[in-house]
Amino acid sequence: MNIKTSSHDNICTLFIEGRIDTLTAPELEQAFIDNAENCEKMILDFSETEYISSAGMRVILIAHREMEKKGGLVLKNLSKNVESIIKMTGFGKFVTIE
C-alpha cells in the first residue's frame, strides 16, 4: 500500500493506493494520526484502492469518530469492490461517501 497526502484550507486528503488489510491497516491508521490534528475535514480517496478488510474498516471507524468532532470524514472515489464492502457493513449509513 502507498499513501500520499495533500492539504489545502484545513482539508486533508489521503490518497490510498493498493490493498488495506491486516498488514497495511496500521500504516493507514498512522497516516490518519499524523494528519488529523491539522485538519478540520479529512478525505480518504480510494480511487486506487483495490480491497479493504475488516482491519481497514476499523481504521475508517476510528477516523470517522475523531473527525466527527471537527468537520467530518469523506470517502471518495470508491471502487465497486470497496463500495460494496462499505455498504454491506452498514458504514454507508453514517460515513459520507462522494
Question: Using one digit for the tens of pLDDT, what is the confidence trace for 51-70?
Answer: 999 999 999 999 999 999 99
Q: What residues contact 32, with CB distance under 8 A and at least 6 apart?
A: 14, 42, 59, 62, 63, 66
Question: Using one digit for the tens of pLDDT, what is the confidence trace for 14-34?
Answer: 999 999 999 999 999 999 999
What is the β-pairing status of strands 96-97 and 73-76? parallel
- Whole-number percent of the chain with pLDDT over 70: 100
Q: Please tell me the total count of domains within the chain.
A: 1
**Mean of the per-residue pLDDT values for the chain?**
94
Q: Is residue 97 over pLDDT 90?
A: yes
Query: Cα separations (Å) of 62 from 12, 26, 80?
Result: 16, 12, 23
CA angle, corner 78, sides to 30 and 26, nearest 5? Answer: 15
- The whole domain housing 52 covers 2-97
Closest CA to 31 of 12, 46, 50, 49: 12
Q: What is the CATH number of the domain that holds 79?
A: 3.30.750.24
pTM: 0.92
